[in-house]
Amino acid sequence: MKKIVFSIILCLLVGFSSFAQEFYGETPVLTNKRGTAILPKAGDFAVGIDASTPLRYAGSIFSNVSNSAPVFDGFNGNIYGKYFLQDQRALRARVTLDLSNTDRKAFVRDNDYPSETNFTLQDVEKRFEAKVDLSVGYEVRRGSGRFQGFFGGEGILGVTAETYKYQYANSFKTATMPYSFSFGNNNISSEGRMITYKKSPKYSIAAGGFVGVEYFIAPKFSIGGEFFLRIKFALAGKSETTRESWNAANSKSEIKTTKGTDAREALSVKIYTKDEKLSSFFLLFHF
């Protein structure tokens, strides 16, 4: 009889211990009808993309405006990444890329046949622009259901650069300026013509906080949005221009590079209140 009572008490203690651990010591695991865990857990990774384009597309379905299908914008937009140190703690990173490369072409007369207006060649303008921001932060999450709130802090490094390059079909052979097309930026004059122009580069360091909400549509798949508050320190460098001109002393063309005087190095401090992207929407995939 004593053995039976002891066994019953032991079973009750073990059962109560398991019950207490599940509901008091640890957060219950949220699952769908198939028993698959919905929320991320410690050791999980997450990758995501900017959701602005698909959300705009979904919203325009219910309006009379043009509703073109969403397209992948290449490297433009935000790319998100997270690593969960704990179920409710994560390291996060975000890369914002805006890269563009544009070519413009124009016909010019052939210098070797100046009297033949139908003999034409092509000048080319190549424009490259890059805006890159890299942020690294720490995130704290709250909530046990499909809706998850989060907040934290992050640091951001940014750089902006813009370069113009020109290819001319007619080369310098005499002191006379050869036929060259003016694209509006290449500043052709009696002093020569522009070969390369690098606009004043801009560098920035920012720090701030964020707060947001995330909803898990399906297991390990979520959509969310967040808002930021930051203070930014920006540094502007000098522009650089490379020009081709005629050297009368040597009777040949020469190329010279000069630093700009209109874009001196300057430091500015800014607290984000406008003219900055202070919010974002995202889609995240956890695995």
Q: How many CB atoms lie within 10 A of CB 192?
A: 20
Q: What is the DSSP string of 72-138?
A: --TT-EEEEEEEEEETTEEEEEEEEEEEEEEEEEEEEE-TTSTT-TT-EEEEEEEEEEEEEEEEEEE
Same domain (yes/no): 196, 135? yes
Reading the block at residue 231, the tokens are 């203070």
Distance CA 78, CA 98 (A): 9
Task: Provide the residue type at 112 as one letter.
Answer: D
Beta bridge partners of 259: 240
Place of tokens 């219910």: 62
Residue by residue, pLDDT tens for the chain (287 residues) are 444 434 543 443 344 344 333 333 445 688 888 888 999 999 999 999 887 655 554 444 455 555 555 444 444 468 899 999 999 999 999 998 888 999 999 999 999 998 888 899 999 999 999 999 999 999 999 988 899 999 999 999 999 999 999 999 999 988 889 999 999 988 888 778 999 999 989 998 989 899 999 999 999 999 999 988 888 888 888 889 999 999 988 889 999 999 876 544 455 566 654 445 667 888 999 99
Which residues lie below 8 Å from residue 10, measured CB to CB, with a gap of 6+? none
Assess whether 217 and 96 both reside in one domain.
Answer: yes
CB 260 within 8 A of CB 272: no
What range defines the domain where residue 11 resides? 1-30
Q: Which residues are registered as beta bridge partners of 279?
A: 227
Are 15 and 36 contained in the same domain? Answer: no
Do residues 24 and 126 share a domain?
A: no
Q: Which residues touch 283 (CB under 8 Å, ≥6 apart)?
A: 48, 49, 51, 54, 221, 222, 223
**One domain for residues 63 and 2:** no
Q: Which two tokens stand for residue 196?
A: 């390369």
Task: Note whether 9 and 110 are same-domain residues.
Answer: no
Say if residue 17 is in the same domain as residue 146: no
Q: Do 132 and 272 belong together in one domain?
A: yes
Same domain, 18 and 88: no
Q: How many CA atoms lie within 13 A of 98 on its CB side?
A: 8
Residues 134 and 162 in one domain: yes
Domain count, the chain: 2
Residues 108 and 163 in one domain: yes
Shared domain check, 107 and 10: no
CATH number at residue 215: 2.40.160
